[in-house]
């Protein structure tokens, strides 16, 4: 496989508490592949998303998922959209890494943690998360 296409997902409407972390993860992922959904790390994502219809966002994101080789999801902040994206990746038998910060205020859904198709990795520092991301991508290519 050449440079992999990677779909990154993290909460947008569910809460932006980890937006800086998303940006750092996307930067790290870009050293190993092409991130199709780098907008998730933008500070002004909500403003950008308001310029599109919800149908357009749905279509765009589904196309990116279809084009992706790998999905990496930051799942610390619960998000219906991220859950939907994870299900799409599972349906396509796409390799999926779910990153969960154990210092977060929410428990990880059993539907994510219990899914045998997902690789769920816990972390406490962004450096640990980046090391995990790089190792996961290297395993897939």
Q: What is the DSSP string of 62-107?
A: HHHHHH-SEEEEE-SS--HHHHHHHHHHHHTT--EEEEEETTSSSP
Residue 11's CB: how many other CB atoms inside 10 A?
22
Please give the average per-residue pLDDT across 76-98, as a whole number: 96
Q: How confident is the model at residue 63 (pLDDT cuts 50, 70, 90)?
A: very high
Please give the average per-residue pLDDT across 15-30, as a whole number: 82
Predicted pLDDT at 45: 61
Q: Where are the domains positioned within the chain?
A: 5-140
Checking if the pLDDT of 1 tops 70, the result is no
∠ CA 70-13-110, nearest 5°, is: 60
Q: Which CATH code for domain 5-140?
A: 3.40.50.450
Asked if 90 and 27 touch (Cβ cutoff 8 Å), the reply is no
Lowest mean pLDDT among 17-26, 71-80, 85-94: 17-26
Residue 69's CB: how many other CB atoms inside 10 A?
19
Q: How confident is the model at residue 46 (pLDDT cuts 50, 70, 90)?
A: low
Own/partner pairs, 17-20, CB within 8 angstroms, 24+ separation: 17/77, 18/74, 18/76, 18/77, 18/101, 19/43, 19/45
Q: How confident is the model at residue 105 (pLDDT cuts 50, 70, 90)?
A: confident
When comparing pLDDT for 135 and 106, which is higher? 135
Own/partner pairs, 101-105, CB within 8 angstroms, 24+ separation: 101/18, 101/21, 101/76, 101/129, 104/76, 104/77
């Amino acid at each position: 496989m050449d440079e992999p296409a990677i779909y990154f997902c993290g909460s947008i409407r569910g809460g932006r508490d980890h937006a800086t972390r998303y940006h750092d993860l996307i930067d790290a992922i870009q050293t190993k592949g092409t991130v199709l959904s780098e907008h998730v790390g933008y500070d002004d994502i909500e403003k950008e998303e308001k310029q599109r219809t919800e149908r357009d966002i749905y279509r765009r994101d589904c196309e990116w998922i279809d084009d992706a080789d790998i999905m990496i999801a930051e799942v610390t902040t619960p998000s219906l959209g991220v859950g939907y994206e994870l299900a799409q990746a599972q349906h396509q038998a796409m390799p999926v890494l779910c990153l969960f910060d154990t210092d977060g205020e929410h428990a990880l859904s059993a539907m994510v943690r219990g899914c045998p198709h997902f690789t769920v990795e816990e972390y406490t520092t962004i450096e640990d998360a980046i090391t995990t991301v790089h190792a996961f991508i290297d395993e897939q290519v």
